[in-house]
Amino acid sequence: MGHETILVTGGSRGIGRAVVAALVRDGAHVAFTYRTGEEEARQIEADSRGLAKAFALDLGDPERPGLLVTEVETLLGPIVGLVNNAGIRKEALLALMSDDDWNAVLDTNLGGLFRCCRAVMRGMVLRRRGSIVNVASISAVHGLPGQAAYAASKAGVLGLTRSLAREIGKRNIRVNAVVPGFVPTDLTADLKPAQLEAIRATECLPGGVTVESVAETIVFLLSERSSSITGQALVVDAGSTA
């Protein structure tokens, strides 16, 4: 990847942390964000040999993405890659879900992603170079009870990915999505055993999906090795949708 600057949202844990680690191994300069867990974020910084730097980001703050991009580019240089990984999940049957919870999930997972894309696009368009990778979820294409808001937000991510790829492809900017199956992370730690069994029952591979395998797919889509790929949703689910 070389000495390029990549912005990874939600990079202090789970898939995002694995992406930061993979990019650092490739020698990229990585700006990654955290909302909570500053101590974890600072440890990742310390272990990165000076290649990774942590920034605070609350996707619920509509002004923050634009300010963040300015901070990152001032300190680390032009952003050539964006990984939209940060998100939240609130479990509830639709009939029992509050407006506040619905709005929080949609505005964070889809609205926040939109604002991050918009913030980096201006520089990418001027430089006519960039790659954006959006982290969706298998729930966008395979429904699960209690995940209507989360699934709706991630399905929206897939639609945004395809449309944005059409909008800015002529400027040599690629936009793709990764669709992970079940991945053991903090975000999925509270799933009930019956939900886990239902999710994993259709997997073909015994090892399931790891954060590392998802991260390597994201790094591939950021890199020039995928220079002819845009507007796609690459599924990493151990074969559960085969």
Tens of pLDDT, residue by residue over 145-182, are 899 999 999 999 999 999 999 999 999 999 999 999 98
Torsion of CA 21, 25, 31, 36, to 10 degrees: 20
Helix 99-106 with 148-168: angle, nearest 10 deg: 30
Quick one: average pLDDT of 102-121?
98
As annotated, the active-site residues are: 150
Quick one: average pLDDT of 198-225?
94
Tens of pLDDT, residue by residue over 45-83, are 999 999 999 999 999 999 999 999 999 999 999 999 999
Q: For the residues of 189-233, what is the DSSP string, one character each?
A: TT--HHHHHHHHTT-SSTT---HHHHHHHHHHHHSGGGTT--S-E
At 151, the amino acid letter reads A
Comparing CA positions, the residue from 205, 116, 208, 192 lying closest to residue 157 is 116
Tokens of 200: 């994993």
Output the CA angle 156-157-163, nearest 5 degrees. Answer: 90
Confidence of residue 187 (pLDDT cuts 50, 70, 90): low
Residue 119 reports pLDDT greater than 70: yes
pTM of the predicted model, to two decimals?
0.94
How many Cβ atoms from other residues are within 10 Å of residue 129's Cβ?
Answer: 16
Q: Which helix (H) or strand (E) holds 174?
A: strand 173-180
What class, spelled out in words, does domain 5-236 have in CATH?
Answer: alpha beta
Tokens of 210: 């790891």
